[in-house]
Amino acid sequence: MEEDFQPEYGPKWSDQRVERLLGALVLGVVALLLALIVVVFVHGWPSFSHNGLAWFGPGGNVEEELAQISQSAETGAGYIYTFHAWPLIWSTILIAGGSVVLGLIAALFISVFLVEFAPSWMRAILTPVVRFLASIPSVIYGLLGVLVLVPFIGNHLISEHQKASVAGIISLTGYSLMAAIVVLTIMIAPLMVSIFTDALNSVKPGWLEGSLALGVNRWRTIWKIGVRAARPAIVAGTVLALARAIGESVMLAMLSGSTAFAPNPIDGLIFIFEPSRPLAPTIVKSSDQLSSPPASATLFAIASFLLFSAAVFSLIGWLTRRSMNKYLAR
């Protein structure tokens, strides 16, 4: 009778076998990421190697350069790779940086409000609102920006005098840094709020109570004790939001104006009304030129720059979040 006994999961799904199977799958995903990194860098290498460090530098008109690059594949007179990405990088820095700074301020105040001061009815409304704002597809933000915010900025915020003052260089229509930053802030602030509130909620209550018992009021307690204890989470959330802001492509392709122009803060406040062109939207806008080898190399070079910066930021965020656990009650 012993021989007839077939354990249900015995020989077929033994632990070792399952472990090996799952391990193989995990290795596959890790290998896929490595393949992605290698493929993107290898395909972008011709653009880097032809330009050297000048790739990151200023000089020339990015739009003309891109047009030349994609045309050079058809003429047969050798590929042209000349590309200076600084206006794109500068625009990315301005838009992502601006919206992360605004988003950080808004997210800090909102999460302090949610954790400590909001009455329960307000909390019941605000929590789903934040989650909803985070889940709206970026293309809807883009559409609303194009049809509502951009005309508003173009018609009411930019004066005729301002339009005339730069008429020879660029036309101010409302597609601007400002539109991009405002909408991007609304997109990334909810992400930060959810990380910040988690952290603030898990600050050891004894620390806060100790401060309250010493007579410090609730406002100063939450800022001096709570926010300070949650600092690693705040860094992590900000860095993750920065990675998201750098990678945002579709909404920015619709709102930033897609003009290779580098707005200059020295010109005064008018620079926030000027159009520009960040890195990620450039890939989406030029994706129909992928069949031409030099254009494809240029786009992959942009992608590897994005990949590198986003990966660095999300790893920093991950490391700070890991180290944070010792500060917070579990």
CA–CA gap between residue 202 and residue 205 (Å, rounded):
8
- Token look-up 């530098």 returns 57
Rounded Cα distance, 252 and 247, in Å: 10
Kindly report the number of other CB atoms within 10 A of residue 150's CB atom. 22
Chain positions 165 to 224 lying near another protein, rule: CB under 8 A, are 186, 189, 217-220
Residue 115 as a binder of another protein (CB under 8 A): the answer is no
Q: State the minimum distance, in angstroms, from the CB of residue 268 to another protein.
A: 27
H/E stretch holding 21 reads: helix 15-51
Tell the smallest beta-carbon distance from residue 277 to another protein (Å): 13
Cβ closest to another protein, residue 133 vs residue 165: 133
List binders of another protein among 290-319 (CB under 8 A).
290, 299-300, 303, 306-307, 310-311, 313-315, 317-318
- Going from the C-alpha of 91 to that of each of 55, 181, 274, the distances in angstroms are 15, 11, 11
Establish if 89 lies at the interface with another protein (CB under 8 A).
no
Q: According to the binding rule CB under 8 A, does residue 280 interact with another protein?
A: yes
CB 284 to another protein: min, Å: 6
Q: Does 144 bind another protein (CB under 8 A)?
A: yes
Reading phi first (left if > 0) and then psi (alpha if -120 to 50, else beta), residue 78 is in left
Among 128, 206, 210, 265, binds another protein (CB under 8 A): 128
Among candidates 287, 286, 288, which has minimal Cα distance to 258?
A: 286
- Alpha carbon 66 to chain centroid distance? 24
C-alpha–C-alpha distance, residues 263 and 272, integer Å: 7
Site for another protein in 35-64 (CB under 8 A): 35-36, 39-40, 43
Q: Tell me, what DSSP letter sits at residue 167?
A: T
* Region of 47-55, 84-92, 109-117, 165-173 interacting with another protein (CB under 8 A): 109-117
Only segment of 75-83, 86-94, 196-204, 238-246 that touches another protein (CB under 8 A): 238-246
Q: Does 25 bind another protein (CB under 8 A)?
A: yes
C-alpha dihedral, 316 to 317 to 323 to 328, nearest 10°? 160
Minimum Å distance from CB 273 to another protein? 18
Among 3, 4, 8, 74, binds another protein (CB under 8 A): 8
Q: Are 40 and 300 in contact (CB under 8 A)?
A: yes
For residues 246 and 264, the answer to whether their CB atoms sit within 8 Å is no
Closest residue by Cα to residue 101 from 244, 242, 197 = 242
Instruction: Output 273 or 300, the one with its CB closest to another protein.
Output: 300
How many residues contact another protein, by CB under 8 A?
87
Applying CB under 8 A, which part among 50-58, 59-67, 114-122, 196-204 lies near another protein? Answer: 114-122
Using the rule CB under 8 A, is 101 a contact of another protein?
A: no
Q: Which of 243, 260, 270, 272 binds another protein (CB under 8 A)?
A: 243
- DSSP-assigned letter for residue 188: H
Would you give the DSSP letter of residue 292? S
How many degrees, rounded to 5, is the angle at CA 196 between CA 195 and CA 199?
Answer: 90
Q: How far is the CB of 161 from another protein (least distance, A)?
A: 26
Interface region with another protein, contact rule CB under 8 A, candidates 49-57, 58-66, 201-209, 280-288: 280-288
When asked if residue 328 is in the footprint of another protein (CB under 8 A), the reply is no
